[in-house]
Amino acid sequence: MSLLTSIVDLDSIQVNSASLPFNLDDKATEIEALAHTIVELRGLIDIPLVRALRIDEYELVSGHLEYYAFLKAREIDPELPDRITVFILKPKIEGAMLKQLEVTEAVRQPPLPGPPSPSNPALSDEGTLSLKLKNLESRLEQSFKHLSSSIERLKLDLTETIDSKLPQPLPPLEAFNRISEPAVQQQVLKKLEFLSQKKALKIIEKLQEHRKRHPNAQFKQFNDVLGVLEKGTLSKEKMLEVIDRWN
C-alpha cells in the first residue's frame, strides 16, 4: 500500500495533551518562527501524522510543532486555508509508519546538555535569541506587507471615488448640441485637437454661433453638424474620423 497524503479540516484534529511532547509556552518562539515560514511558503514541508478516530475526526500522533505552527500562521494571515495536509495512519501499514516515526524522532533527539559554563552562554539560549530576532523581523515584514496592501486598496478606492465624481465624456452628437457649456466646450476642443487647434476652435465657434441663433434647435444626425459648418471646414471623412477617435 502506497503512502498518500490527505487534506483535512484543522478543527477535525484533536490533540491529546498527555501525548504532547513539549510545553507550548516553552516552544512559543519556535512555533512562531515556523509559522512565519508557513505564511511565506503557503504550506508545510514536514507533514503531521494523524490517526482516524471516526469519520472526519482525527487524533494528532506526530507533528505537534507543525500543527501548532500552522494554527499560529493562520492567526498571522487569516487568508491561509483552514485545512492541512496530513498522513493518516492506515491499519495495514501502521506498524511500518510508527517504526519510521520512531527512527526519525530518535535521529532528531537533541544531545543531552553539558554543564553550563559561566563564561559562555548556552547554545540553546543563543538559538532562541536568534529565533526571536527572526520572529521580530518577520512581524515587521508582515506588518509592512499589510500596510502596503492597505495603501494600494485605499488608492484604488480613492481612484474609483474620484472617477465616479468626474463628469463622464459625452457622446459626440450630444456634445455638439451642448457646445455652449464651458465644460463641454473643453471636451470638444480636446477631441478635435488632432485636426489642429486652430481648426478645432473654428468649428466650436461656428457651432456656438448656431446655438445662439437657434437655441432650441437640436442636431439629429452628424450631417446636421456638417451643414452648419462652412464648406471645407470638416469633410464627411474627417467627421467619421472624429467619431472613431471620440472614445
What pTM did the predictor assign? 0.52
CA pair distance 49, 185, nearest whole angstrom: 73
Structural domains of the chain, with CATH: 5-109 (3.90.1530.30), 172-246 (no CATH)
Most confident of 33-42, 96-105, 125-134: 33-42
Q: What is the pLDDT of residues 68-126, one digit of tens each?
A: 999 999 999 999 999 999 999 888 888 888 888 787 777 666 555 555 555 455 545 66
Q: What is the pLDDT of residues 170-204, one digit of tens each?
A: 899 999 999 999 989 999 999 999 999 999 999 99
CB 168 within 8 A of CB 246: no
CA pair distance 246, 225, nearest whole angstrom: 16
* Mean per-residue pLDDT, 40-69: 92
What phi and psi, each to the nearest 5 degrees, are found at residue 30? -65, -40
Q: CA-CA-CA-CA torsion for 23, 133, 34, 40, nearest 10 degrees? A: 160
Q: Which residue has the cell 446636421?
A: 224
Residue 48's CB: how many other CB atoms inside 10 A? 22
